[in-house]
Structure 1
Amino acid sequence: MSILFECDYKGRRYAGIGIPEAGKPHTLYAVEDGELLAAVVASGERDLVEHVGSRPETVSVSAGDPELRFLPPLLPTSTNNSLVNGFMGTHRSKFDRAPEPDEPFTPPNYYIKGFGSWLRMPGEPLTTPADPIWLLEEPEVVLVYVNDDEGNPHYAGYTFGNDLNDIGLHLENRWAWTPYAKLCETSVTPWLFLGAAPRTATGRVSVERGGETVWQGDFSCGADSIFHRFPDMTDYLFSYPMLRRPGLVNYLFLGADKATYHDGFRIDDGDRMVIDVASHGVVLDNTVRYDRRQAAPLAGTAAS
């Protein structure tokens, strides 16, 4: 399984092959912003490793170097022409039956989270509103697509994310308040796994409070755990022209298994969520931060 990543090192954009090991040197290849996007469109995800490995300018760094900053996969930092969005209620664990082999496709609920620049990396805090009702972590497969100049989507690969959201607010009014419930920061791993979306992706979530583990639970987020078929989901979504805007990078979250909320556990301010995707050897950890700052009144909106 081939894995790529992009990063910023001393103000220069680089790409790497494989996942760096702590304390060991790792080769980075200098690339331009958007270079790998063009390579996906030109040749597909299978030639990305060869493209990166052929770059002449290299540097060797350690994964712990303080000047090394990882980026979300293929994030277009100069244009921010990118979208974070996804599906809800997709997992078989949330249905009371198994799908029929030839069952007609019914699209699951959908949401738009925000821009790709809003994504956070492992180790970074995830900011939420100051008074969430009941926060829920959501370990998910994230598909990454790049649209060409004509708006045709090209699959680049997949990564893993945590769609932190306020499920308590969602449940108070499923039809009106879900967009507000999703207004919490979201994280992804920087690793782009090349190849088809996984049939099996499993691991364990831990929540730490004050340095101690206060909740643990297993999860599954691969295709075998999802009620809907991946091609049906993506074909339906990209039938909408707005998601086929030229140059758009699309981070598509595919939904989550049951987790802390379904076990009656409440995530609190300062808790550290650790998502260990054991099947793929990657870990995504983030600390919850309530944003308690008072917003200043907006000019020009006061009633006369």
Structure 2
Amino acid sequence: MRLIQYRDRNQLRVAVVETPEAVRPITVEGGTYALARIAIDSGQSLESVIEVRLEDTLLDYQPLVDERRLLPPLTHPDPAHCLVTGTGLTHLGSADTRSAMHAQSQQQTQQSEEQLTDSMRMFKLGVEGGKPAPGETGAQPEWFYKGGGDCMVAPEAEIPVPAFAEDAGEEPELAGLYLIGNDGRPWRIGYAIGNEFSDHVTERFNYLWLAHSKLRACSVGPELWVGELPDHLEGTSRIVRGGETVWEKPFLTGEANMAHSLANLEYHHFKYSGFRRPGDVHVHFFGTATLSFADGIKTRDGDRFEISLPIFGRALRNPLRFKTETPPIDVKSL
């Protein structure tokens, strides 16, 4: 089952994707968030909650896209209660990408421990211990914070690039979408395509600036996959400029292509009590090994990112908009 959220006049609506051309609205106030709350509170599956609320009529999908009425597939009524985070160096091949980006040797995983960079050491930890047996604790991944819920832009909407940014690069990833129950238990609602979007020039200058490079907008959706994922997923990431594709590359994701299991990544995020606050929404990116920046691409104003994974339905598309001014930062004493 796949879900979308969209605007209907001033209302937040949610619908099931029936076909590539049609969606079936669900009768509920509050969108996907409300459906998940009902499921958790009543002890039912999300699918069961949805099935009894399906409306009889079908709605054309394409106008929602053309009119930019799509929203991220899960939102919180208060964006401050949505945390957007992620993990890096999680995919087989991601270390090569990171090394190339930092102009380091491609053979570092074969070097002695003393010769490894921190990034390569982190990747090696994941390869050796990122998929623990059930009941065991695996290696910690790299982790970063992106922002609150207001850093997520809707599918088809412009991704803003701040005037102080050095780069504006896509990162095609899986994202997990979660709601914390009243008892503090994290519930995974589903998965979506994500464009984690980062400033790779800033990161390349010094890896200790990784935290700065991640404080950017991002996008998730348009469709939310409810249920278990296949282990192997193949997608395509491209950049379209003036109607022409200027860069395109396949990417792999899913646990078969990762150094870490999804369960291990989830454990090391939600083990912190501050991330188990009842009622909060979490959007967590699982990493990638494919970047246009690693191929020397420099994005421009108006470029459109397109990220697709066939089982997720429609592609996630967002144009870039470069800002030219930074609001004045005037800190005053009280």
Same fold per TM (> 0.5)?
yes
In 2, are the aligned partners of 1:91 and 1:255 still within 8 Å (CA)? yes
Write the deviation string for residues 94-137 of structure 1: whole angstroms up to 9, x where unpaired: 34479358777321211111112321122111011224333321
Opposite residue 47 of structure 2, the aligned amino acid is V
Deviates most, 229-238 or 63-72: 63-72
Q: 2:327 aligns with which of 291, 295, 303?
A: 295
Write the deviation string for residues 10-63 of structure 1: whole angstroms up to 9, x where unpaired: 2223221125644x5x3312312242121342367x832332232276664322
Deviates most, 113-122 or 67-76: 67-76
Write the deviation string for residues 140-172 of structure 1: whole angstroms up to 9, x where unpaired: 111111111121111211111001110110121
Opposite residue 77 of structure 2, the aligned amino acid is T
CA change 1:28–1:80 in 2 (3 A) is farther
Q: 1:28 aligns with which of 8, 16, 25?
A: 25
Q: Find the aligned partners of 2:185 and 2:264 in 1 and give their Cα distance.
A: 17
Superposition pairs of residues 145-164 of structure 1, within 5 angstroms: 145-164=178-197
What residue ranges of structure 2 are gaps of 5+ in the alignment?
96-108, 110-123
In 1, are the aligned partners of 2:145 and 2:215 still within 8 Å (CA)? no
Superposition pairs of residues 198-277 of structure 1, within 5 angstroms: 198-277=230-309
Q: TM-score w.r.t. structure 1 length? A: 0.87
Opposite residue 191 of structure 2, the aligned amino acid is Y
Q: Find the aligned partners of 1:56 and 1:226 in 2 and give their Cα distance.
A: 36
CA change 1:31–1:19 in 2 (3 A) is same
Q: Which residue of structure 2 lines up, in the alignment, with residue 54 of structure 1? A: 52
Write the deviation string for residues 253-300 of structure 1: whole angstroms up to 9, x where unpaired: 000122212212222222111112235433011111111124135252
In 2, are the aligned partners of 1:119 and 1:188 still within 8 Å (CA)? yes
Q: Find the aligned partners of 1:67 and 1:270 in 2 and give their Cα distance.
A: 18
Q: Find the aligned partners of 1:8 and 1:130 in 2 and give their Cα distance.
A: 30
Superposition pairs of residues 79-228 of structure 1, within 5 angstroms: 80-95=80-95, 96=109, 99-100=127-128, 105-175=138-208, 177-228=209-260
RMSD over aligned CA atoms reads 2.7
Number of residue pairs matched? 297
CA change 1:11–1:238 in 2 (3 A) is same
In 2, are the aligned partners of 1:75 and 1:117 still within 8 Å (CA)? no
In 2, are the aligned partners of 1:41 and 1:147 still within 8 Å (CA)? no
In 2, are the aligned partners of 1:197 and 1:223 still within 8 Å (CA)? no
In 2, are the aligned partners of 1:202 and 1:220 still within 8 Å (CA)? yes
Q: Find the aligned partners of 1:140 and 1:230 in 2 and give their Cα distance.
A: 13
Opposite residue 54 of structure 1, the aligned amino acid is V
CA change 1:128–1:237 in 2 (3 A) is same
Give % identity.
27
Q: Which residue of structure 1 lines up, in the alignment, with residue 76 of structure 2? A: 76
Write the deviation string for residues 213-247 of structure 1: whole angstroms up to 9, x where unpaired: 11111111211111112211111221101101111
Q: Find the aligned partners of 1:85 and 1:278 in 2 and give their Cα distance.
A: 24
In 2, are the aligned partners of 1:9 and 1:68 still within 8 Å (CA)? no
Opposite residue 4 of structure 1, the aligned amino acid is L
